[in-house]
Amino acid sequence: MGAGALAREAPGPLGKQAMRSSLLPVLVVLVACACEQKPAPAPSAGKPAAAPGAGATPSRVETDTYAVAFSATATAGTLTLTARPPLHLNPDYPAAFRPDPGGVAFAADRVPLAQEQKTPCAARAEDTCESTSTLAFTGGASGQRVSGTVQFSVCEPEKCLIEKVKVASAIP
């Protein structure tokens, strides 16, 4: 290719101006779209939705992979973990409840989940899909809030997920 061929392919000053003016409507539309109010995106699968109310922590958290339910009486909390199919609770993970400071007194800063009640999975009876643990404490009074973080793991054949979920309940 000679120098003459390059000169014919490169746009002249009028060609550049025409290109700029054709981009102007596109830029105006893009700026207008960026300024529109859009609804907040839906929570991603596997992650709990934000708790309702300022600073509120739900006593039940549900996702596509698990559900956690927590309730309290004057002397103990009841924590139920449920793995959603095809997952199961990981028996090798040291599941525990870490109470928030203040309030009722637990025996330790980290309370292992005893899983007194276990429900086998429908697909595989040797796997546990739901467990319930009782978490004893002292100093509970009506209306007092019991809160903390539960740590557990759910698995499928290919991988395991480690979860940390905030829960709370008021003593009736």
In the structure, what pLDDT confidence band is assigned to residue 103 with cuts at 50, 70 and 90? confident
Write the CA distances from 81 to 66, 128, 130, 142, integer angstroms.
Answer: 7, 10, 5, 25
Residue found under tokens 């637990």: 106
CB 133 within 8 A of CB 115: yes
Domain ranges of the chain: 60-170
pLDDT of residue 137: 96
CA 40/CA 18 separation, integer angstroms = 39
pTM of the entire structure? 0.67
Tokens of 120: 């086998």
Assess whether pLDDT exceeds 50 at residue 107.
yes
Class of domain 60-170: mainly beta
Nearest to 169 by CA among 118, 64, 97, 111: 97
What are 18-67's pLDDT values in tens digits? Answer: 445 554 444 333 333 333 333 333 333 444 443 333 344 559 999 999 99
- Distances from the Cα of 129 to the Cα of 84, 86, 95, angstroms: 7, 9, 14
